[in-house]
Structure 1
Amino acid sequence: MGRDWFADAVLYEIYPQSFSDSDGDGVGDLRGVISRLDHIASLGVNVIWFNPCFASPFVDAGYDVSDYYSIAPRYGTNDDLVELVAAAKERGIRVMLDLVAGHTSIEHAWFQRELAADGPDPDGNRYIWCEDLPDRAWNLDIPGTPAWVPSPGRRQGYYLKNFYDEQPALNFGWVRRPGDPAWRDPIDAPGPRRNRQALKDIIAFWLDRGIAGFRVDMAFSLVKDEQLADGLAETVALWREIREWLDAEYPDAVLIPEGTEPRTGGPAAFDADFFLVIHEEHGSLFDNHYAGLLPFHEPREPFFDAAGRGSTRVFLDAWDAARAGDPDRLVVMSTADHDYDRLCCGPRTAEQLGAALTFLFTWGNVPCLYYGDEIGMRYLPGLPNVEGAVCNPAYNRAGCRTPMQWDARPNAGFSTAESSRLYLPVDPAPDRPTVAAQETDPSSTLNLVRELIALRQATPALRTRATTRVIHDGYPFAYVRGESHLVVVNPRREPATLAAAEAVGATALLASGITATSDGFTVAGFGYGIFTYRAAGPATA
């Protein structure tokens, strides 16, 4: 079977700190997830993706790993994860982990060893060091902060970081250029070779414990001084080497990058591209900027907005580019994620979610449901800076990381801890959505999500392998899947009309706010629908 299973995947992203707390310490854990597996299974999803669960001092919410081979004690043990994988498998659900490949924590034993040394490691430096401060930097540092950090230990000089000072960049080598200083290791130097092998060892350790694959954080940042214009060829080649090894040793294992894989003309190293929430291919559809603006953001009206002033053009162009040369290329798209906002953000209300969810589960992408979006949890502004959530004055990630809202009990059923001990505050609104309240409401967001996923899983034409043909790229947005199913969504407040042959006589499978006309549909504000239709055939005598 290989990796074909991923084409029909529906992912569910769990931010483990905030999902379910089993031991009353105010922080979510793996046994809490085990206790909620029946809810996850009830959605119809078949893959759980966890944000980092490894041992960490949690300067950056676990994206600063101190031990890749151990589950963080606050989440439980390695045995708990193995039990979770087995329990999920019984429900037809695979488990994927987040792999932080480009950097570690300063508390990792590798870094502590190099920090305490008199000079370069004779086996090859795992990190990037220089004695004199360079005049350039080639990393993803926090804007306005130095990329090179003075050594706080016996080792002289500076180390290169990848984000926060506490996240030293791992050494995968540099693209060599004339006149390069000696400290810039080539990609085949001992240190980079050690780190490549370490990636394989870490991946194998967890695959041997039942993990189905990995989403790779900052996947294309490994080799330094690469140019995007050159396709980041050396980093892609590194991952292609790992893919070849996986194909031989773990042919079912999936690798998903953070972002879109550069095209270098060779075989793809990853199994899909990932349209990130913070980038414009996704943001042009959904980002209403309520959660803030990053320096690379271009303010724009999102298409899925009540004002109805957005466009699908940026998204459609990016989609076509991602699949150019490979029409079967998989693309993951999320409802939201741990790094920015939620669908239900600011003025976007629950009644607007139907059109957005219908699109995300029928377009032909591999959909990823962010925990809580199945009930329309809100992004909460102005929350405290917990575990590096505020990494830019206009970029607070805490608002999308709040505790899951299960029921009407204190802390919304997330934890029995005092509210002051919670990882983050729970939405204080009296009308906050909960799983329990929506279970028995047939018109709830929760039950719409279940219907959409069930319809997708039962209908090949709505999944990834079927063709997609746009018949109207404005309001309403309308497209045909597999030349047998018509999807229509109107995210704006005002009604819209669709005149199309495919709509005449179409039969609704799931619809809200759509009225048939002589030549198509009238679609109410925030309306949506999925229809079967009979394609016009050749005339007969």
Structure 2
Amino acid sequence: MAHKWWQKAVVYQIYPMSFQDSNNDGIGDLPGITQRLDYLHQLGVDVLWLNPIYKSPNQDNGYDIADYRTINPQYGTMADFEELLAATHQRGMKLLMDLVVNHTSDQHAWFQESRKSKDNRYADYYIWRDPVDGHEPNNWRSAFSGPAWTYVPERGQYYLHLFAPGQPDLNWENPEVREAVFNIERFWLDKGVDGFRMDVINLISKPAGLPDVAGTPTAGTTLDFVADGPRLNEFLRQMNDEVLSHYDVMTVGEMPGSTPEDAIKYTGLDSHELNMVFQFQHVNLSPNPDVRLGKWNDQPVKLPELKVALNRWQKALDGKGWNSLYWNNHDQPRAVSRFGNDDPKYRVLAAKMLGTTLHMMQGTPYVYEGEELGMTNAHFTRIDQYEDLESLNIYREMVKQRKLVDGPTMLKYLANMSRDNARTPMQWDAGKNAGFTAGTPWYRLNTNYPEINVDAALKDQTSVFYHYQKLIKLRHQSDLIQYGTFEELDPLDEQVYAYRRHYQGQTLLVMSNFTDQVVQRDSGQQKADELLISNYPDDQGTTLRPYESKVYLFK
């Protein structure tokens, strides 16, 4: 099978609000991204993925879209976008848009019409149901706390929102909705964008009849219950047949709750739907023992569990589908804080170790803004320091309403897991507001920006930035890294993550120490032909120092 361009690519994710402000209003914008393209080109990435930049009331930071064909004025104009797209292409990079079509904003014209009556053109664009005994139509819970239904007196009905009340779910059973979505995709592809990251795309087909979730439903069990519905394959195939297959594009579907077997159905190398999925198995590790608290916890991830999660996908998709490789994104805490160690003594080593472990696997790696610097969690200590809807809602529900935990405990959980950890502004230099803006930043900066920033990284040849640059270059040069099969080693080892890759007679050995201890491991590295990359200046053979990661080539 011919290899595709996206199988060789490395993607850089940009959260536009926090990347670079060009007009000093405190909010990152499109001209700001254009200003920084040379930096991204120097890093070596191939594709830029922009979080949503469409017109939005920003109840969920742009994932509530009010107009799919209009740029949010806080980010600039359509002319600014077209300039960014052209400048990206001039540097040989591609641009991926974030497509949110499981739901819209409640400010979208479709919903504004739909809510008025049961017999207008848009009446069936959303999922409406009559009350049952004066209550919600079923027991589903919203991902952002509370019931997944909101009542509208004008219609005398409830509408479904798997996320915030301001994010009503579209009714994909309606062929007019599907055609409207396909027209939005054509609009952007005809402008020259190179594909889409599709938000929670495996939620678009709901279970027939919308039955109750068994037991006591939570946000998590509701999403798992709704995910991968009966017509998902059909809807994605239609999207591909009518739109995607007519363009040379890259598509990645965010699919909470999906298994490798699901992913092969939707993204198999022989199927005709999407190119790859974002799965959540590894980032959903260490949930709270109290299921009512879901992901909110402050416990470290156990390495054997992490290996089970990542190795499962490496083995299952090999030769059948394609992995997306990521540690963090706009919805996840900073990787070096969660999976590594952000103590200044170990941060650089741990950040390089995590990058090496992931980038040597089979799949398309994603780098989230600031990851290439080893940016850390913000370590906030007060609830008024948070702005994310999910974080504020869960604090109110668990501490104030249900009293399941006390305030200080919940703040520890937020410091570990809140999405806000990823959304602090990008750290460009040690000057005012880290070089992000000369105005007042829309959100507070991480206090460690004087030490951790682009300016410092570019001046230090041993920085995390140059390590990532080398990882990206190695991938571009090596068929073994791109396509090799995956062999797990010592899955129960609680300290070292080791694996091999094999391709056309060559072997890669990857060894990563996930601890601050010195350990001894012999995986035959003494017989290697070459040490490809390491995060220490020398190689001590079977000795692995704290957070040491090294990659050997056997020719």
Give the equivalent residue in structure 2 for 1:392. Answer: 394
Alignment of 1:6-17 (within 5 A): 6-17=6-17
Instruction: Normalising by structure 1, report the TM-score.
Output: 0.84
Indicate yes or no: 2:553 matched with 1:493.
no
Match of 2:310 among 306, 315, 334: 315
Cα deviation 1:49-75 (Å, max 9, x = unaligned) = 111110000011001100001110000
Give the equivalent residue in structure 2 for 1:212. Answer: 194
SS at match of 2:237: helix
User: How far has the Cα of 1:13 moved from its partner?
Assistant: 0.7
User: How far has the Cα of 1:138 moved from its partner?
Assistant: 7.3
Equivalents in 1 of 2:264, 2:546: separation in Å? 44
- C-alpha change, 1:99 and 1:485, in structure 2 (3 Å) is same
SS at match of 1:526: coil
Cα deviation 1:159-181 (Å, max 9, x = unaligned) = 22221111111112xxxxxxxxx
User: How far has the Cα of 1:448 moved from its partner?
Assistant: 1.0
Match of 1:443 among 462, 466, 473: 462
Query: Contact 2:287–2:297 at 8 Å: present in 1 too?
Result: no
- Structure 1 letter corresponding to 2:254: E
Give the equivalent residue in structure 2 for 1:468. Answer: 486
Give the equivalent residue in structure 1 for 2:184. Answer: 202
Q: What's the % identity of the aligned pairs?
A: 28
Match of 1:241 among 238, 242, 265: 238
- C-alpha change, 1:193 and 1:310, in structure 2 (3 Å) is closer
Indicate yes or no: 2:138 matched with 1:141.
no
Query: Contact 2:333–2:420 at 8 Å: present in 1 too?
Result: no
- Structure 2 letter corresponding to 1:470: E
SS at match of 2:63: coil
Indicate yes or no: 2:342 matched with 1:348.
yes
Equivalents in 2 of 1:31, 1:430: separation in Å? 23
RMSD: 2.9
- C-alpha change, 1:265 and 1:313, in structure 2 (3 Å) is closer
- C-alpha change, 1:56 and 1:139, in structure 2 (3 Å) is farther
- Structure 1 letter corresponding to 2:252: I
- Structure 2 letter corresponding to 1:485: L
Equivalents in 2 of 1:193, 1:410: separation in Å? 52
- C-alpha change, 1:375 and 1:504, in structure 2 (3 Å) is same
Equivalents in 2 of 1:263, 1:213: separation in Å? 18
Give the equivalent residue in structure 2 for 1:179. Answer: none
Give the equivalent residue in structure 1 for 2:278. Answer: 274
User: How far has the Cα of 1:2 moved from its partner?
Assistant: 9.4
Cα deviation 1:164-211 (Å, max 9, x = unaligned) = 111111112xxxxxxxxxxxxxx3xxxx11110011001010001111
Give the equivalent residue in structure 2 for 1:336. Answer: 328
Out of 88-97 and 473-482, give the one that drifted further: 473-482
Equivalents in 1 of 2:43, 2:551: separation in Å? 19
Cα deviation 1:439-478 (Å, max 9, x = unaligned) = 1111111111111111221222112x22222344334322
Indicate yes or no: 2:24 matched with 1:24.
yes
Which structure shows the higher helix fraction?
A: 2
Query: Contact 1:98–1:217 at 8 Å: present in 2 too?
Result: yes
SS at match of 1:315: helix
Equivalents in 2 of 1:6, 1:492: separation in Å? 33
Match of 2:357 among 356, 359, 375: 359
SS at match of 1:220: helix
SS at match of 1:484: strand
Give the equivalent residue in structure 1 for 2:542. Answer: 521
Equivalents in 1 of 2:146, 2:517: separation in Å? 46
Equivalents in 2 of 1:456, 1:64: separation in Å? 36
Indicate yes or no: 2:124 matched with 1:132.
no
Equivalents in 2 of 1:301, 1:144: separation in Å? 25
Equivalents in 2 of 1:229, 1:141: separation in Å? 11
Instruction: Normalising by structure 2, report the TM-score.
Output: 0.82
Query: Contact 1:303–1:491 at 8 Å: present in 2 too?
Result: no
User: How far has the Cα of 1:42 moved from its partner?
Assistant: 0.9
- C-alpha change, 1:263 and 1:485, in structure 2 (3 Å) is closer
SS at match of 1:411: helix
- C-alpha change, 1:216 and 1:294, in structure 2 (3 Å) is farther
SS at match of 2:231: helix
Equivalents in 1 of 2:432, 2:298: separation in Å? 39
Unpaired runs of at least 5, structure 1:
173-186, 535-541
Query: Contact 2:353–2:535 at 8 Å: present in 1 too?
Result: no
**Structure 1 segments of 4+ aligned residues over 4 angstroms from their partners:** 133-136, 226-231, 263-266, 296-301, 513-517
- Structure 2 letter corresponding to 1:234: R
Count of residues paired in the alignment? 493
Query: Contact 1:246–1:253 at 8 Å: present in 2 too?
Result: no
User: How far has the Cα of 1:412 moved from its partner?
Assistant: 0.2
- Structure 2 letter corresponding to 1:196: R
